[in-house]
A and B are shown apart, each in its own frame.
Chain A
């Protein structure tokens, strides 16, 4: 008997824009990925991508508001029958130049740098990644991971 497809549903989380809260988001995403039958490898990829995206948002907020910001990082999750859609929102500094510049990691990637792997990792592991910026509301990073047949 085939299992029922994943129903469409929403989850929203907010964290204070401080890096020590990233572990809370990581644990949540890891548990969610397991609940949705993603493979161990995919679960780690999702955990890492959300961690990297939230870390970028925290940096963007700190760049705009300083080390004790008031605004938070918001994570919206939509589970539909074919995919897991995750959007990270922040009201920090525009990071569109960094987003455009980042390429998925491949054999030509310079791996001798201290920084700059975060968006590259996101573009490598997620099936679709889009960025948009609303001058009033800030940065929105949209990431999609499709369910493989075994996860459905």
Chain B
């Protein structure tokens, strides 16, 4: 009867990483956010911490939807992963900007750019690990 929200995930391989691309469609609000929460929690339970959420067909997001994303972001980053958003419609991007959420969560113009960013993150981590330890300065 109320077909307002759809969510699906495909796993993609890039630079030896498995990236989960979650595509959402419709309205992410108080009635549909549990679907989103359960879906993302399933990925975390499978220890999948590289996640792109594709917003291209999302028409609306309420505070309940924002809460799911922001609440899970820290848990994902604690596991050295990230949750990145891509292909956001202008009105939703505008909302993220106005409320300051775009300062905390990374937003990209396309899924491709978000996936490339995961590769860059990985490269930076490897470079960081290769650095010699700092000598004691006293």
Interface positions of A (Cβ within 8 A of B) = 18-20, 22-23, 26, 40-41, 44-45, 47-48, 51-52, 55, 58, 105-107, 109, 111-118, 120-121, 124
Q: Which of A18, A22, A26, A105 has the most CB of B within 10 A?
A: A22
Interface positions of B (Cβ within 8 A of A) = 2, 4, 27, 29-31, 60, 62-64, 66-68, 70-71, 73-74, 91, 94-95, 98-101, 104
Question: Is there contact, CB below 8 Å, between B100 and A109?
Answer: yes
Q: Which of B62, B67, B104 has the most CB of A within 10 A?
A: B62
Q: Beyond A40-B91, A118-B63, is A23–B27 a contact (Cβ under 8 Å)? A: yes
Name the prevailing secondary structure of the B interface residues.
Answer: helix
Known: A41-B94, A51-B29, A105-B100. 8 other contacts (CB 8 A): A19-B30, A23-B31, A55-B64, A111-B101, A112-B70, A113-B71, A115-B63, A115-B67
Residues of B within 8 A of A47 (CB): 60
Question: Is there contact, CB below 8 Å, between B63 and A52?
Answer: yes
28 chain-A/chain-B pairs, Cβ below 8 angstroms:
A19-B31, A22-B31, A23-B2, A23-B29, A23-B31, A26-B29, A26-B60, A41-B94, A44-B94, A47-B60, A52-B62, A52-B63, A55-B63, A105-B100, A106-B100, A109-B100, A111-B70, A111-B101, A112-B70, A112-B71, A113-B67, A114-B67, A114-B71, A115-B63, A116-B67, A117-B66, A118-B62, A121-B63
Return the 8 tightest CB-CB contacts between A and B, nearest first.
Answer: A114-B71, A19-B31, A117-B63, A19-B30, A55-B30, A118-B63, A114-B67, A20-B31
Name the prevailing secondary structure of the A interface residues.
Answer: helix
Residue of B nearest to A109 (CB): B100
Residue of B nearest to A59 (CB): B30
Q: How far is the CA of A6 from the CA of B30 in the complex (A)?
A: 33
Q: Beyond A109-B100, A112-B74, is A44–B63 a contact (Cβ under 8 Å)? A: no
